[in-house]
């Protein structure tokens, strides 16, 4: 402690009535916390108990006993005690413990180097594109960028090879050079399926041995595991999600073994599925899910399965593994979920299920500084109300028009979730219309035009508010939906409808302006509708829901929504009362 | 998909009985997964369904519909959809999503630079010592090494300043230079308590403003928070644990604010305290704890409180915060614990409570490759049995000698935990003896010598097996313990006893050879004793307990124990049967 080092014996007997005077430099020496004790001293009088008489003397009214206020050598640890066990990841704290123990250097495991070889004549490396766009027909190679990040996180050193043409001899030669380099693990990305690029397995077989070609997991099936000249060589599928999962399941454990650690698997929590999930027998299926805590239960909403959708990984909060022996999971079943995000974040996530709108992205973005996260699943307005019924969501987004009264949402709420006390809040008003190709080449401007022979339509799924709106207008105009070519072709979001139009699958779809504008398509407005939030009263005391409503009412959210075009925010965040029936 | 791109319409009508032939290069073009479609094609015939007739023609027995086996633009996401929200940590997955979305560069937050200034004339930087030892009176500075690691983990860039002398003008000038550098946060380590180095607060006050000097937390009390020329300046306590906790509580949130993220606090779990913990009113106390799951409960065993013990952080699995309004926690009370290690690791931890022995360190080290971790708390043999009773431990280590029968452990088990079915396993046999200073200057060789006027003894705590052994021998020799100077001075481990001898607090203590040898002390053997494991039968089906016993029986563990000296491992890991009484 800070104060004066003394011989304890010299202080015995000191008291308020019998102070003892000590002479600085002769009987007492100034010391500070952390300093070694001067010779022949064995206790410290702390500075607070010192009454200075002059520059050379001070008085004390309380004695000290030997070793009082002194940290003895070895209080923390002594020679031969183990500071850290082996196979231990050295963090900041451990660096301190080693230095405190006088250990200035330690032997550590060599970080394994992983050579990541992208193959594919159509690929172009992102580095050379920083100031431009890829040529037509070229695709930016990013799988090895993701894999490199995973290698680093697992404690390895990633080495990204330049892009290799998919020619057998080139692939084979590259593998051989890789094996003879200082790399410890060689990964060939893509070229592992059954097409013309399938040189990987053949090349490994010619150079060494293939142990496994094809695994019972999905995504990730076309994984190849082999060995060349004593080094592990892995063929990794081409679709990004397949590439990631295959490497996490088969590549990362190789690194863990090389590092001599059994790294900790992701923590798991128990969650309940928001909907039924089917899975094929005979393969382990990896579902990416969004998570949120609704009431006392954590709810898992499955994301799309597509192995090409890297966003199913970036958007995912966790992964559910459905074993090869299972055909799927019932709705609301309890399942184990491997967490991709910290559990506390899940607790701060608002689960939105219902109708899709681009403003939800803006809302998610605006909420993050408040430490609130959004998980939104797009299943249409009716699906949202059903999710409230099954307690799978904190709130539903809905724009369901009553065909008789022209009032939005209330009649559906009373019909489908009569037992759940809810309040309705205004989200936005928005223009709905026909999304058509640039310049409207087919001249589609009325609902009648949709029945023309030369017009193919792309519809939204049953239960979507946009589909209800379409049916409302068809009904008012006495038009028969069965006369519309493509009426049965369904997409689940506004943007998917716009993509169908852009790619020529359809000539027209119904959706919002922002979706059309985003893809440079034209938009023929037909109606303004109300897009609202249905919130069970029990969640209205929840701070994160209150924050969400506050943010929606704020100027920042509203101005960003207005900039998207086609929206109105006059009453955004206001509670809406039910009209007298 | 891999195969041939075609116009779907050209394939309509194909069947097993009516195959259709397509000409390569005219009606069908080879494509591979990930490649763009050739012009005027709208579907892919997968390679598996192609029957080659010659090099230029193939037959199909099944048609394809438009867009079959084709991934359409926008399946993943389309322009204007948000790939990532703001204030988001970009990981490997997100890099891929950005590149997949054609985003080749993004604006990111500047990483805050943190200038870490160590002050103290007694300090020496570890970098200059790599090949040597510090001079006498010098101490290796490692607080800024730990803080640098914490800064990096929090997303900042640490800059470690050279060591600064504790002179007011020097400290002040260094702060001013730091504030005027490109650093965003300035941290002065040590010099924040009430001693002569307490220039930090004064220096900040002269240069700017001190908002806070002293906070109601423990450890970490002497924290200083101030501002100089618009930049935050923090004075950080000198004890390593205080420095760490103070920075984690006050410094890290500053970085989070600068980064615009609310980083995730450590996940918490609920645990039950292994023993009663007292805390002082009026300050929030941070207890470091070891954790393990015993039965269905997670048990938290508090580590020593000393702020100088950096190993209380490296050994800790979590931190319990006892609020300023609380005087402590009862034994077995449920408390929230912030985790320092992944939760799955806690599940794989064997909780040992009982008598201390250095071989437990060897055991911990040997178990890590098996993914089993040890949490050992040293409370003496009897304390271990009590821990089994309260279900706070998986196993107790014990060397309790029955003074009448000369048999170890069994009579104590039957007396203190009669209702718990247990099995006893041999740990090691070990030599106990007197630990004395090098050369045994006081010539202590017998129990009689302990009663000499010129001999000060250091004892173990009541309930420790070593103390029972001492009492056994004193009794046999008809010696009165009250005649031993220091009989009431207690230490909790063999090494603490050795340290007491080394530092001159005592002339002799009783303990094991390895503790004496570790500190270069002399050892006078008096007895060989049995140090065993008491394991409740209910845990003997637990794989981690079985692994522990297997490892103890292995050659690697045994040879490392023998190398410590003073141990026997003849029956190590064997089950011991209870002698007939």
Considering the domain architecture, whether residues A231 and A317 belong to the same structural domain is answered as no
Asked if B313's CB is within 8 angstroms of A97's CB, the reply is yes
Whether A185 is in a domain gets the answer yes
Asked if B358's CB is within 8 angstroms of A80's CB, the reply is yes
The predicted structure's pLDDT at residue A567: 94
Q: What distance in Å separates residue B229's CA from the closest CA in chain A?
A: 27
Asked if A85's CB is within 8 angstroms of B361's CB, the reply is yes
A302 vs A508, residue with greater confidence: A508
Considering the domain architecture, whether residues A232 and A304 belong to the same structural domain is answered as no
Residue A53 and residue A108: Cα distance in Å, rounded?
Answer: 56
Taking residue A549's Cβ as centre, other Cβ atoms within 10 Å add up to 18
Residues 534-563 of A with CB under 8 A from B: none
B193 vs A246, residue with greater confidence: A246
B345 and chain A: CB distance < 8 Å anywhere?
A: yes
Greatest mean pLDDT among A266-270, A368-372, A567-571, B515-519: A567-571
B518 and chain A: CB distance < 8 Å anywhere?
A: yes
- Best mutation target among A91, A311, A345 (most B Cβ atoms within 10 Å) is A311
Asked if A240's CB is within 8 angstroms of B84's CB, the reply is no
Question: pLDDT averaged over chain A?
Answer: 88
Residue that finishes a domain, picked among B44, B60, B76? B60
Considering the domain architecture, whether residues B117 and B247 belong to the same structural domain is answered as yes
pLDDT band per the 50, 70, 90 thresholds, residue B193: very low
The predicted structure's pLDDT at residue A195: 52
Considering the domain architecture, whether residues B229 and B289 belong to the same structural domain is answered as no
pLDDT band per the 50, 70, 90 thresholds, residue B72: low
What percent of chain A is modeled with pLDDT above 70? 95
A26 and chain B: CB distance < 8 Å anywhere?
A: no
Residues 267-326 of B with CB under 8 A from A: 267-268, 306, 308-311, 313-314
Whether B544 is in a domain gets the answer yes
Residue among B494, B465, B360 at smallest CA distance from A77: B494
| pLDDT of A77 above 60 | no
The predicted structure's pLDDT at residue B443: 95
Lowest mean pLDDT, pick from A70-74, A216-220, B442-446: A70-74
Compute the average pLDDT of residues A434-454.
Answer: 95
Please name the residue of chain A whose CA is at the shortest distance from the CA of residue B316.
Answer: A93
The predicted structure's pLDDT at residue B79: 55
Partner residue facing B499 (CB), from A78, A238, A345: A78
Considering the domain architecture, whether residues A186 and A220 belong to the same structural domain is answered as yes
Whether B561 is in a domain gets the answer yes
Please name the residue of chain A whose CA is at the shortest distance from the CA of residue B268.
Answer: A344
Considering the domain architecture, whether residues B188 and B241 belong to the same structural domain is answered as yes
Residue among B309, B564, B432 at smallest CA distance from A74: B309
Write down the pTM of the prediction: 0.78
Asked if A133's CB is within 8 angstroms of B96's CB, the reply is no
E strands in A79-208: 113-118, 123-124, 139-140, 157-160, 185-189
Helices and strands in chain B: count of H runs, count of E runs = 16, 32
Considering the domain architecture, whether residues B450 and B545 belong to the same structural domain is answered as yes
Partner residue facing B308 (CB), from A71, A86, A499: A71
B134 vs B342, residue with greater confidence: B342
Compute the average pLDDT of residues A441-453.
Answer: 95
Strand partners, A140: A124
Residue A274 and residue A335: Cα distance in Å, rounded?
Answer: 11
Cβ(B102)–Cβ(A126) below 8 Å:
no
The predicted structure's pLDDT at residue B500: 85
**Residue range A493-543, pLDDT digits in tens:** 888 898 889 878 899 999 999 889 878 899 999 989 999 999 999 999 999
B450 vs B266, residue with greater confidence: B450
The 3-state DSSP class for residue B321 equals: strand
Considering the domain architecture, whether residues B217 and B178 belong to the same structural domain is answered as yes
Taking one residue from A and the other from B, the number of pairs with CB-CB distance under 8 angstroms is 324
Asked if B78's CB is within 8 angstroms of A498's CB, the reply is yes
Residue that finishes a domain, picked among A28, A43, A60? A60
| pLDDT of B137 above 80 | no
Compute the average pLDDT of residues A166-184.
Answer: 94
Q: What distance in Å separates residue B374's CA from the closest CA in chain A?
A: 10
Compute the average pLDDT of residues B266-289.
Answer: 88
The predicted structure's pLDDT at residue A196: 44
Strand partners, A334: A272
Asked if B505's CB is within 8 angstroms of A120's CB, the reply is no
The predicted structure's pLDDT at residue A38: 78
Considering the domain architecture, whether residues B26 and B126 belong to the same structural domain is answered as no
A471 vs B379, residue with greater confidence: A471
pLDDT band per the 50, 70, 90 thresholds, residue B264: low
Residues 225-254 of B with CB under 8 A from A: 238-240, 244
Residue that finishes a domain, picked among A229, A259, A289? A259
Instruction: With beta carbons under 8 A apart, name residues in chain B contacting A495.
Output: 74, 77-78, 80-81
Instruction: With beta carbons under 8 A apart, name residues in chain B contacting A196.
Output: 2, 30, 32, 47
B264 and chain A: CB distance < 8 Å anywhere?
A: yes
Q: What distance in Å separates residue B540's CA from the closest CA in chain A?
A: 23
Greatest mean pLDDT among A116-125, A436-445, B274-283, B462-471: A436-445
Residue B294 and residue B46: Cα distance in Å, rounded?
Answer: 56
In sequence order, what are the residues at sequence separation of 6 or more whose Cβ sits closer than 8 angstroms to the Cβ of residue A502? A437, A519, A520, A521, B73, B74
Instruction: With beta carbons under 8 A apart, name residues in chain A contacting B344.
Output: 264-265, 267-268
Whether B101 is in a domain gets the answer no
What is the 3-class SS of A173-188, one letter each residue?
A: HHHHHHHHCCCCEEEE
pLDDT band per the 50, 70, 90 thresholds, residue A408: very high
pLDDT band per the 50, 70, 90 thresholds, residue A312: confident
pLDDT band per the 50, 70, 90 thresholds, residue B352: very high
| pLDDT of A88 above 60 | yes
Whether B79 is in a domain gets the answer no
pLDDT band per the 50, 70, 90 thresholds, residue B31: confident
Instruction: With beta carbons under 8 A apart, name residues in chain B contacting A77.
Output: 311, 495
| pLDDT of B239 above 90 | no
The 3-state DSSP class for residue B539 equals: helix
Q: What distance in Å separates residue A557's CA from the closest CA in chain B?
A: 14
Q: What distance in Å separates residue B311's CA from the closest CA in chain A?
A: 6
Asked if A239's CB is within 8 angstroms of B97's CB, the reply is no
Asked if B122's CB is within 8 angstroms of A361's CB, the reply is no
Q: What distance in Å separates residue A49's CA from the closest CA in chain B?
A: 12
Residues 412-441 of A with CB under 8 A from B: none
Q: DSSP H helical segments within B300-397, as ranges?
A: 311-314, 343-347, 359-367, 381-389
Q: How many domains does chain B have?
A: 4
Instruction: With beta carbons under 8 A apart, name residues in chain B contacting A95.
Output: 142, 145-146, 149
The predicted structure's pLDDT at residue B171: 92
Considering only CA atoms, give the Rg of chain A.
34
Domain residues for the domain of B176 are: 113-259
A413 vs B312, residue with greater confidence: A413
A562 vs B72, residue with greater confidence: A562
Whether B516 is in a domain gets the answer yes
B38 and chain A: CB distance < 8 Å anywhere?
A: no
Please name the residue of chain A whose CA is at the shortest distance from the CA of residue B32.
Answer: A195
| pLDDT of B557 above 90 | yes
B39 and chain A: CB distance < 8 Å anywhere?
A: no
Residue among A429, A470, A442, A444 at smallest CA distance from A524: A444
Placement of tokens 């000393």 in the chain: B306
- Best mutation target among A130, A146, A290 (most B Cβ atoms within 10 Å) is A146
Residue B274 and residue B287: Cα distance in Å, rounded?
Answer: 13
Residue B485 and residue B456: Cα distance in Å, rounded?
Answer: 5
- Best mutation target among A74, A503, A511 (most B Cβ atoms within 10 Å) is A74
Whether B70 is in a domain gets the answer no
Instruction: With beta carbons under 8 A apart, name residues in chain B contacting A145.
Output: 92, 95-96, 99
Considering the domain architecture, whether residues A336 and A484 belong to the same structural domain is answered as no
CATH of the domain at A324: 2.40.340.10
Asked if A99's CB is within 8 angstroms of B142's CB, the reply is yes
In sequence order, what are the residues at sequence separation of 6 or more whose Cβ sits closer than 8 angstroms to the Cβ of residue A63? A8, A11, A12, A13, A14, A15, A20
Residues 120-139 of A with CB under 8 A from B: 120, 122, 126, 129-130, 133, 136-137, 139
The predicted structure's pLDDT at residue B196: 44
The predicted structure's pLDDT at residue A78: 54
Partner residue facing B368 (CB), from A86, A309, A342: A86
Give the burial class of B108: count Cβ atoms within 10 A of its Cβ; 0-12 exposed, 13-18 middle, 19 or more buried: exposed
The 3-state DSSP class for residue A189 equals: strand
B120 vs A204, residue with greater confidence: A204
Considering the domain architecture, whether residues B205 and B324 belong to the same structural domain is answered as no
The predicted structure's pLDDT at residue A275: 80
In degrees and rounded to multiples of 5, residue B527 shows phi and psi of -160, 155
Taking residue B534's Cβ as centre, other Cβ atoms within 10 Å add up to 27
Q: What distance in Å separates residue A210's CA from the closest CA in chain B?
A: 22
B140 vs B438, residue with greater confidence: B438
pLDDT band per the 50, 70, 90 thresholds, residue A263: low
| pLDDT of B73 above 80 | no
Lowest mean pLDDT, pick from A308-317, B348-357, B427-436, B500-509: A308-317
Residues 46-65 of A with CB under 8 A from B: 47-48
The predicted structure's pLDDT at residue B192: 47
Question: pLDDT averaged over chain B?
Answer: 88
CATH of the domain at B409: 3.40.190.10
Whether B493 is in a domain gets the answer yes
Please name the residue of chain A whose CA is at the shortest distance from the CA of residue B308.
Answer: A76
The predicted structure's pLDDT at residue A60: 92
| pLDDT of B447 above 80 | yes
The predicted structure's pLDDT at residue A192: 47
pLDDT band per the 50, 70, 90 thresholds, residue B1: confident
The predicted structure's pLDDT at residue B77: 53
The predicted structure's pLDDT at residue A443: 95
Considering the domain architecture, whether residues A435 and A516 belong to the same structural domain is answered as yes
CA angle B293, B299, B304 (to 5 degrees): 130
CATH of the domain at A183: 3.40.980.10
Instruction: With beta carbons under 8 A apart, name residues in chain A contacting B518.
Output: 78-81
Residue B470 and residue B490: Cα distance in Å, rounded?
Answer: 13
Compute the average pLDDT of residues A12-21.
Answer: 87
The predicted structure's pLDDT at residue A350: 95
| pLDDT of B76 above 80 | no
Q: What is the ipTM of this complex?
A: 0.77
């Amino acid at each position: 402690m800070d104060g004066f080092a003394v011989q304890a014996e010299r202080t015995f007997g000191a008291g308020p009535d019998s102070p003892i005077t000590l002479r600085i430099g002769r009987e007492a020496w100034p010391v500070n916390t952390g300093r070694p004790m001067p010779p022949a001293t064995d206790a410290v009088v702390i500075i607070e108990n010192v009454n200075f008489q002059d520059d050379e003397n001070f008085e004390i009214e309380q004695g000290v006993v030997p070793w009082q206020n002194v940290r003895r050598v070895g209080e923390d640890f002594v020679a031969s005690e183990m500071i850290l066990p082996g196979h231990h990841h050295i963090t900041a704290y451990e660096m301190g413990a080693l230095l405190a123990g006088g250990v200035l250097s330690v032997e550590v495991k060599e970080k394994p180097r992983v050579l990541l070889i992208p193959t594919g004549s159509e690929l172009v490396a992102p580095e050379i594109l920083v100031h431009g766009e890829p040529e037509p027909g070229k695709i930016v190679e990013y799988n090895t960028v993701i894999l490199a990040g995973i290698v680093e996180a697992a404690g390895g050193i990633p080495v990204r090879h330049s892009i290799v043409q998919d020619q057998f001899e080139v692939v084979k030669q590259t593998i051989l050079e890789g094996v003879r380099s200082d790399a410890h693990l060689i990964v060939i990305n893509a070229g592992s399926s059954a097409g013309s690029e399938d040189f990987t397995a053949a090349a490994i077989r010619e150079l060494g041995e293939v142990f496994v070609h094809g695994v019972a997991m999905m995504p990730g099936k076309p994984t190849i595991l082999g060995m060349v000249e004593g080094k592990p060589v892995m063929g990794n599928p081409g679709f990004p999600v397949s590439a990631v999962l295959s490497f996490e399941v088969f590549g990362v454990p190789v690194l863990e073994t090389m590092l001599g650690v059994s790294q900790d698997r992701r923590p798991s929590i128990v969650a309940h599925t928001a909907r039924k999930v089917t899975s094929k027998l005979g393969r382990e299926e990896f579902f990416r899910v969004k998570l949120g805590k609704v009431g006392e239960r954590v709810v898992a909403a499955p994301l799309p399965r597509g192995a090409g959708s890297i966003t199913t990984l970036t958007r995912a909060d966790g992964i559910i593994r459905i074993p090869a022996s299972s055909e799927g999971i019932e709705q609301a079943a309890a399942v184990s979920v491997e967490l991709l995000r910290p559990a506390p974040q899940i607790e701060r996530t608002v689960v939105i299920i219902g109708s899709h709108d681009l403003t939800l992205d803006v809302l998610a973005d605006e909420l993050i500084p408040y430490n609130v996260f959004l998980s939104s699943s797009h299943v249409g307005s009716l699906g949202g109300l059903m999710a409230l019924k099954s307690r799978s969501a904190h709130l539903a987004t809905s724009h369901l028009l009553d065909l008789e009264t022209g009032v939005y949402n209330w009649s559906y709420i009373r019909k489908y979730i009569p037992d759940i006390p809810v309040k309705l809040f205004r989200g936005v008003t928005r223009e709905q219309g026909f999304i058509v190709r640039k310049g409207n080449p087919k001249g589609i401007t009325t609902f009648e035009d949709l029945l023309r022979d030369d017009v193919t339509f792309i519809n939204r799924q049953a239960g979507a508010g946009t589909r209800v709106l379409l049916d409302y207008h068809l009904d008012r105009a006495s038009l028969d939906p069965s006369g519309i070519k493509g009426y049965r072709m369904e997409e689940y979001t506004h943007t998917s409808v716009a993509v169908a139009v852009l790619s020529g699958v359809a000539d027209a779809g119904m959706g919002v302006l922002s979706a059309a504008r985003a893809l440079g398509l034209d938009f023929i407005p037909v109606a303004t509708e109300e897009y609202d939030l249905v919130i069970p009263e029990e969640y209205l005391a929840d701070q994160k829901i209150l924050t969400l409503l506050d943010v929606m009412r704020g100027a920042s959210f509203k101005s960003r929504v207005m900039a998207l075009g086609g929206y109105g925010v006059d009453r955004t965040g206001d509670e809406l009362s039910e009209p007298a029936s």
